[in-house]
Amino acid sequence: MIRTIVWSPDAACPTIRILDQTRLPREEVYLDLDTIPDLCEAILALRIRGAPAIGIAGAYGVALAARLAAREVPERDAPGAGGGGAPDLLARIETDASRLRAVRPTAVNLAWAIDRVLARLRASRAPGGSAARPAPAGDLASLALAEARAIHDEDLAMSRAMGAHGAALLPHGAGILTHCNTGGLATGGLGTALAVVFTAHDQGKAPRVFADETRPLLQGARLTMWELARAGIPATLIVDGAAAWAMKRQRIDAVLVGADRIAANGDAANKIGTYGLAIAAARHGVPFYVVAPSSTFDPALPSGDAIPIEERPATEVLAGWSAGASDADAAPSSAGAWNPAFDVTPAELITGWVSEQGVRRRGDFA
């Protein structure tokens, strides 16, 4: 299992340790993040990415905020010391949580996980921990960490369940087309769409993967190919533009992708390029599955039109690449770019939604 993110306990100075995904596959570098700004930077720069993984990072972030707050106001924390205590602490934690929540807008898991930890902290104040007799700061920090760990543990269990539900959909020797990275790096466990591949592989079903490279940041080329090579699963890299042609000229039995947010009607936001894949899959009659835990579903949004789409800097598209046979490595300096990080695939193009609870079909959405 990849150590995508771990809580690194140290009584004096706990850290959130992450594998820096911007440096893969060339080097495996771990970062110890011990401040909220550092964690925000890591999420914004995609050092840790993937909807479930940034949810876990957000949850640990609240735990880190609670620990930091507890360190700074220890004297007010003594039993019976009276004063602000936990209410002040909670306000401080909530401020940090708001900063974390705002870093990336599209994936609902980030806000979901942060809010779940905060709710646990708020609940701890009642009935025994009312505002009049706040819970000790150390208790809040322990509670936050316990909740974050629960989220992390549940993520692994959900990955396994998604893997099993999804693998049951695949024939032996299936050719699978996938986009972006949806493996252990994108989650706290096995992954979402790639969990299905790993499970099918473990079951001896001999899946073969075609991985879209996934411009602009090449998560497919750098991360998915790395995870599949590590697992010994046959994988072929293709440029994003070759996906439709692969459906025509190669054996592709299913397209498996993850999701960053799924609206109440089944519309799914995912990495830019997913929508075009779904259109091509529909034309070729290739089943198109979205694999995501229930924390990715956002019943508050009636349709995908309401999902906020993060636009990232034009420089991700305009620079940082070089052509294979060339030393030219940037578009003309005057060039502009449009760089939406996600698109929305309408439910009508999705064959099934695989979560830890099973497989939903189109008819299951209101």
The residues assigned a catalytic role are 260
Exposure string over 323-357, b if 16+ CB within 10 A, otherwise e: eeeeeeeeeeeeeeeeeebbbbbbbebbbbbbbbe
Q: How many CB atoms lie within 10 A of CB 96?
A: 22
Beta strands in 128-239 (DSSP E): 175-178, 208-212, 235-238
Site for its own copies, residues 269 to 308, rule: CB under 8 A: 271-276, 279-280, 283
Give the list of residues 6+ apart from residue 170 with CB closer than 8 angstroms, or none. 176, 196, 200, 205, 207, 253, 254
Nearest C-alpha neighbor of 184 from the set 365, 315, 3, 366:
3
CB of 316 to its own copies, least distance (A): 4
CB of 57 to its own copies, least distance (A): 17
* 167 backbone dihedrals φ, ψ, rounded to 5°: -60, -30
- Selected from 73, 150, 231, 331, the binder of its own copies by CB under 8 A is 331
Q: CA quadruple 166, 169, 173, 174: dihedral positive or negative?
A: negative
Are β-strands 30-33 and 15-19 bridged in parallel, bridged antiparallel, or unpaired? antiparallel
Nearer to its own copies, 265 or 339 (CB): 339
- Selected from 79, 80, 204, 324, the binder of its own copies by CB under 8 A is 324
CB of 165 to its own copies, least distance (A): 27
3-state DSSP call for residue 83? Answer: coil
Nearer to its own copies, 13 or 44 (CB): 44
Nearer to its own copies, 67 or 179 (CB): 179
Distance CA 155, CA 216 (A): 27
Site for its own copies, residues 63 to 122, rule: CB under 8 A: none
Q: How many residues bind its own copies (CB under 8 A)?
A: 73
Site for its own copies, residues 11 to 50, rule: CB under 8 A: 22-27, 45-46
Query: Does position 261 bind its own copies by CB under 8 A?
Result: no
CB of 249 to its own copies, least distance (A): 8
Nearer to its own copies, 94 or 310 (CB): 310
Site for its own copies, residues 140 to 179, rule: CB under 8 A: 179
Nearest C-alpha neighbor of 278 from the set 168, 154, 177:
177
Distance CA 210, CA 222 (A): 14
CB of 339 to its own copies, least distance (A): 8
Nearer to its own copies, 82 or 234 (CB): 234
Query: Does position 256 bind its own copies by CB under 8 A?
Result: no
Site for its own copies, residues 194 to 253, rule: CB under 8 A: 210, 212-218, 221-222, 225-226, 229, 235-246, 248-250
Nearer to its own copies, 122 or 284 (CB): 284
Site for its own copies, residues 334 to 353, rule: CB under 8 A: 334-340, 343
Helix (H) or strand (E) holding 19: strand 15-19
Nearer to its own copies, 206 or 229 (CB): 229
CB of 95 to its own copies, least distance (A): 27
CB of 278 to its own copies, least distance (A): 9
Give the list of residues 6+ apart from residue 194 with CB closer than 8 angstroms, or none. 178, 181, 182, 183, 184, 186, 224, 227, 228, 256
Residues in the chain: 366
* 342 backbone dihedrals φ, ψ, rounded to 5°: -135, 165
